With several copies, the nearest count.
Chain A
Amino acid sequence: METMTLGGALNAGLRRALEADERVVLMGEDIGRLGGVFRVTDGLQKQFGANRVIDTPLAESGIVGTAIGLALRGFRPVCEIQFDGFVYPAFDQIVSQLAKLRARSGGRLTLPIVIRIPGGGGIGAVEHHSESNEAYFAHTAGLRVVSCSNPNDAFWMIQQAIASEDPVIFFEPKRRYWDKGQVEPHADLPLHGSRMLGRGDDALLVAHGPSVALALAAAAAAHEDGYSVGVLDLRSLSPLDLPTLLDAAKRSGRVVVVHEASTFGGIGAEIAATITEHCFADLKSPVLRVGGYNIPYPPAGVENEFLPDIDRVLVAIDRSLSFQVAS
């Protein structure tokens, strides 16, 4: 058991993956000599050489497109997209090529590719550096989408994602890169398992990645007011871990989903719709969503007003708890 930052845990996980399988190659802009703009790949090129930790030209479609070629040649590429807002030039290669190639080939081709995306806001960045675009990928059949929230999961999930035979979009909560936590000697969940934190007899908060810490803080505050509020760290956005999610929703009967992305058409909509479809009779109030407002990510000076915060989450819990059918 070791204490690491989330970024450090990713670094250690990538190192283990490179050691474990020589078909694993990392590729991306500035990931080699510089070690990545967040230093997640720090030291890896030095250790594994420029053939396994590849500084690429500045072209995201090229990164994903050539990764597909590498995978077809038997490699297991792990691509870094420098910031969330720069994944869109690669959208066709991800959504039309990477996601569909196995199905298009009638199940013959295998595309074990991981695309790492530092996502989310809250670090005072300039535009295009704080986006939460998980919903686009979660809606795309053929991809798997996961999101880690703490060092232990970061360490284990990145290795599980690389070991997966399927394409995985791997979201890293960039504002939690420097958070410290313990890394356990063994993974206790499969890649697509969700983690329940607390009991949630009164209400359930569903969150992922950067919003888990917020949800935990809100749950703690609610606890002080005498409510038992559980937090479900989704970890996997596609597929959802339905048994765990529905169990938790049924127990609580009141659910609030929290994420940074704009709510309209966000992953919270799918979660709300699914919970409602499966747990209608057990729900005491409608599933509520707290997310970014439905505007493009604002200038950093007002990002705290845009992002869900503890006040907005507590207000939503309140609304959920005080919901009256007759009202």
Chain B
Amino acid sequence: MSNKDVASLERIAPELEPQSIPTPERDVIRFVQSDGTLTELGQSRGVDVGFAQSLYREMVLARRLDVEALALQRQGELNLWLQCAGQEAAQVGSIRALDAADMVFPSYREHAAALSRGVTASELLSPWRGASHAGWDGSARRFHLYSLVLGTQTLHATGFAAGSRLAGTDDIVLTYFGDGAASQGDVNEALNWAAAMKLPVVFFCQNNQWAISTPSSSQMGAPLHQRAAGFGMPAWHVDGNDVLAVHAVTEAAALHVRSGRGPAFIEAQTYRMAGHSSSDDPGRYRGADEVTLWGGRDPISRMAKLLGELGTAEQFFAGLRAESDDFARDIRSACLSIERPRFEELFGNVYAEPHPVMERERAEFCALTSMLDAGV
């Protein structure tokens, strides 16, 4: 008996229909359309042009970083690069909605967010040049190290938020993760934990449609914003390529979270315009049509159009181009001057307190090095 036959044989009695069923995906919140025109909602909210320009500026610089870093990788100056092109609005819009004291736990593709938090190009490129595992001081930047083991950072964020609550401060935590990472046990444990304990965490998922070669559609059985609500937190579904909408939605979520009502979730629809990494060949698994389609939804050009429409002077754009070119030069020279660590120093970075194995091995390493250097 095939499945079809079974289905046609019997129906669930109407009074026994399931009480809780998957609801359809909600429309995204959008202020600015792909062509740069405002939606009705966008019109009703109005645009603070100066502020919009500052968001636009950060997106443009982040895109430039991405372009330069890829070039550096192609020239052999970086071992690897993970591009964030296409996701600038999701990142800049969200991180700019936080207070400076709020802590951020990123995944590994949050370069635009990192720049916004003051992480320098040199710090950002350092791991990809093989010079460190994390180039920046996470506490000072209020921007934790990148986490490559997918989803693990969402639990760290949850614990950090628990600490803030215990300490009685009103800072909140935002954590970034991808559509693929959402399948990991850790992310779901974090959602449940934060909801059960009503902790001040904003879970920000950049659904960029792909986890390497796996499309979001085969990664999950329901839209992520719906899953989050099922764990007991409100969820927003936003056009992740609309920096103004992302900013507004993140502000709303942060407000909810800061007011002690527990965590919140944002699913931002965006697109990984490049391959997964500089080693990836996306042509193997996705079509040009899709890439073109999303190219038309680019977060940066849409803002350029809107800003032009709203009367931004060409001078502003020209100034930004110049700044961006300077930035490109800085990136390149910053990259080339990143220094490899001295290996013997690493022994001192493992433990905070003295450790005999570290001391012994450092001594052995140094002795060996001098011996070999001496040509013995």
- The answer to whether A and B belong to the same complex is yes
Q: By the criterion CB–CB under 8 Å, are B185 and A299 in contact?
A: no
Tell me if A105 and B183 are in contact (CB < 8 A). Answer: no
**Chain A 105-127 against B: per-residue CB contact (8 Å), 1 yes, 0 no?**
11111101000000000001111
For B360, the closest partner residue in chain A by CB is: A242
A67 sits at the interface (CB 8 A): yes
Interface on chain B toward A: helix, strand, loop, or mixed SS?
helix
A57 touches B219 (CB 8 A): yes
Asked whether A166 lies within 8 Å of B361 as measured between CB atoms, the reply is: no
Q: Say if the beta carbon of B68 comes within 8 Å of chain A.
A: no
B189 interface contact, C-beta 8 A? yes
Residues from chain A with Cβ under 8 Å of B152 in the complex: 65, 92-93, 96-97
- Restricting to B119-161, which residues have a CB under 8 Å from any CB of A? 127-134, 137-139, 144-145, 148-150, 152, 154-161
The reply to whether A127 and B127 contact each other, CB–CB distance below 8 Å, is: yes
Q: Are A124 and B130 in contact (CB under 8 A)?
A: yes
Contact, CB under 8 Å: A69 / B162: yes
Q: How far is the CB of A203 from chain B (nearest CB, A)?
A: 19
Q: A104: which of B139, B145, B162 is its contact (CB, 8 Å)?
A: B145
Please tell me which one of the listed residues B213, B340, B352 contacts residue A34 in the complex, with CB atoms under 8 A apart: B213
A33/B343 in contact, CB under 8 A:
no
- Contact yes or no, B133 A127, CB < 8 A: yes
B284 interface residue per 8 A CB criterion: yes
**Contact partners of A34 in chain B: CB under 8 A:** 212-213, 284-285
Q: Count how many chain B residues have C-beta atoms less than 8 Å from C-beta atoms of the other chain.
A: 75
Question: Considering the chains assembled together, what is the distance between the CA atoms of A128 and B159 in angstroms?
Answer: 23
Instruction: Identify which of residues 63-93 in chain A touch chain B, using a CB-to-CB cut-off of 8 Å.
Output: 64-75, 85-86, 88-89, 92-93
Complex Cα gap A260–B321 (Å): 48
Contact pick for A62, options B166, B189, B279, CB 8 Å = B189
Question: How many A-B contacts at CB < 8 Å in the complex?
Answer: 242
CB <8 Å contact, A102 and B193: no
Known contacts A51-B166, A105-B134, A311-B368; A69/B157 CB under 8 A: yes
Contact among A57, A66, A97, A294 for B358, CB-based, below 8 A: A294
The answer to whether the Cβ of B348 comes within 8 Å of any Cβ in the partner chain is yes
* Given A58-B214, A126-B127, A301-B130: A296 in contact with B352 (beta carbons within 8 A): no
Between A101, A102, A124, A129, the greatest number of chain B beta carbons within 10 A of the residue's beta carbon is seen for A101
B339 to chain A minimum Cβ distance, whole angstroms, is 9
Contacts of A276 in B (CB 8 A): none
A65, B155: Cβ atoms closer than 8 Å = yes
Q: Decide yes or no whether A281 CB sits under 8 A from chain B.
A: no
Q: Which listed residue, A33, A192, A299, touches B341 by the CB 8 Å rule?
A: A299
B74: Cβ under 8 A from any A Cβ: no
Which residues 270-320 of A sit at the B interface, judged by CB distance below 8 A? 293-296, 298-303, 305-306, 311-312, 315
Q: Tell me the B338-376 residues at the A interface (CB within 8 Å).
A: 340-343, 346-353, 355-358, 361, 365, 368, 371-372
* A86-B149, A104-B134 known; A30-B159 Cβ under 8 A: no
- Is there an interface contact between B139 and A108, defined as CB atoms closer than 8 Å? yes
How close is A284's CB to chain B, nearest CB, in angstroms?
Answer: 23
Whether B260 is near chain A, meaning CB under 8 Å from some CB there, is: no
- Within the assembled complex, what's the spacing in Å between the Cα atoms of A108 and B144? 11
* 11 extra A-B contacts, CB within 8 A, seeds A88-B149, A109-B138, A299-B127: A59-B193, A62-B158, A73-B162, A92-B186, A165-B352, A293-B347, A294-B357, A294-B361, A300-B79, A302-B342, A315-B371
Measuring CB to CB, which residues of chain B are less than 8 angstroms from any residue of chain A? 79-80, 127-134, 137-139, 144-145, 148-150, 152, 154-164, 166-167, 180-181, 183-186, 189-190, 192-193, 196-197, 211-214, 218-220, 279, 284-285, 340-343, 346-353, 355-358, 361, 365, 368, 371-372
Pairs of residues from A and B, 7 with the lowest C-beta to C-beta distance, nearest first: A69-B159, A65-B155, A73-B163, A66-B159, A300-B130, A107-B349, A301-B130
What are 18 residue pairs bridging A and B, where the CB atoms are less than 8 Å apart in the complex?
A: A34-B213, A57-B192, A59-B184, A59-B193, A61-B189, A65-B156, A65-B159, A66-B156, A68-B159, A69-B156, A92-B186, A102-B352, A104-B133, A127-B148, A166-B352, A293-B347, A298-B346, A302-B343
